[in-house]
Amino acid sequence: MAQPTGTPVKPTTTLWRCPECGHIFTPQPNTIRCPRCGENLRKCRYCQFADTATWECTNARIRYTYGDELGRFHIPEPDHVWACPENRPALAPNPWQLFVANPLLRALGWGAGVAVGLLLLFRFVILPWMRGPEVPEAVQLTAQLNAPTQVATGEAIRLTLTFSNYEAVAVNQWLLVLESELVEESEPPQVTPPPIAPPERVGRRLRFFFNGSPPGGQTTVELVFNLRETHQRTYQLTFDAFGYLNTTPQPTVYRVFFFPSRRWQIKVR
């Protein structure tokens, strides 16, 4: 059997990651220890030829020169160190370890994670709360909108909504949701009759709770908006409403059917 030659060393630019402290650095040909924690990186267990299942060396030259009669070279212990001419540390970091070790990429990763978390929070927590409960629509609970399509500059904008309950049970309360830039560009609206709770405002969205209606009854509310600045423009309004029915064992919520439309446009001329 011919004596195996040594393993050729290809000149490559590589990085090592210390298994003890995680420090990533560019090694030199004579590097033995980690420059941060001093761990010996030439231990047999860090070598690419070490079979950690059997704790034997798989390098052909070492097995031929130092192996037993069966050609096996047993590694005495995991932390065994000796002046091995074939030692090739397998300490190249994986892409994730490189990403974590880079401060800039780590900061970008944390920023992206926080951004995704905030988006999920907004999508699944804040937005459903702003939109109101996800409930089916009931044609027996209706809201009729009476609003102008245009007003003169400086004139107040009056919105009248009439809620009707054609169900066989009473509606405990009505929830009205209005979304428009009109909310941001006007003073707090004058509401008649007063809502049963202070209006809730989030950005360009307003929520009002009003007293309910008995079976076959109606509730009419009026909202008056006064613009802070008088200039010509067109406002898009989106309405939504919900009725809380007095049912047992717990109240039932239905989305109110709007007519003529949930969307309205008012032009200030």
Given 131, 151, 181, the domain boundary residue is: 131
Same domain, 90 and 155: no
For residue 146, give the CATH number of its domain: 2.60.40.10
Nearest to 19 by CA among 56, 58, 61, 47: 47
- Residues in the chain predicted with pLDDT less than 70, given as ranges, are 1-13, 128, 130-135
For 227, residues 6+ apart whose C-beta sits below 8 A from its C-beta are: 154, 157, 182, 185, 186, 187, 268
Give the pLDDT score at 40. Answer: 92
Total number of domains constituting the chain: 3
Same domain, 158 and 123: no
Helix (H) or strand (E) holding 200: strand 200-202
- d(Cα 145, Cα 239) in Å, to the nearest integer? 9
Nearest to 41 by CA among 62, 20, 55, 15: 20
Give the pLDDT score at 214. Answer: 93
Report DSSP state, residue 148.
Answer: -
The verdict on residue 6 lying in a domain is no
Nearest to 173 by CA among 193, 201, 145, 195: 195
Same domain, 64 and 110: no
Same domain, 145 and 259: yes
Same domain, 241 and 121: no
Same domain, 259 and 144: yes
- d(Cα 263, Cα 187) in Å, to the nearest integer? 21
Given 57, 85, 101, the domain boundary residue is: 101
The verdict on residue 181 lying in a domain is yes
Give the pLDDT score at 246. Answer: 82
For 166, residues 6+ apart whose C-beta sits below 8 A from its C-beta are: 140, 141, 142, 215, 216
The verdict on residue 4 lying in a domain is no
The verdict on residue 3 lying in a domain is no
Same domain, 152 and 92: no
Helix (H, G, I), strand (E, B) or coil at 266: strand
Given 131, 148, 172, the domain boundary residue is: 131
CA geometry: angle 201, 205, 206, nearest 5 deg: 55
pLDDT digits (tens, 9 = 90+) for 82-134: 888 888 999 999 888 887 777 787 788 888 899 999 999 888 888 767 665 56
The verdict on residue 7 lying in a domain is no
Same domain, 218 and 196: yes
Contact 126, 120 (CB under 8 A): no
Give the pLDDT score at 13. Answer: 53
For 236, residues 6+ apart whose C-beta sits below 8 A from its C-beta are: 180, 181, 263, 264, 265
Same domain, 263 and 152: yes
Same domain, 77 and 112: no
The verdict on residue 1 lying in a domain is no
pTM: 0.51
The verdict on residue 193 lying in a domain is yes
Same domain, 112 and 181: no
Report the relative pairing of strands 150-151 and 263-268 from DSSP bridges: parallel
Helix (H, G, I), strand (E, B) or coil at 236: strand
Same domain, 254 and 156: yes
Give the pLDDT score at 3. Answer: 52
Give the pLDDT score at 52. Answer: 85
Domain around 216: 137-268
Report DSSP state, residue 92.
Answer: P
The verdict on residue 233 lying in a domain is yes
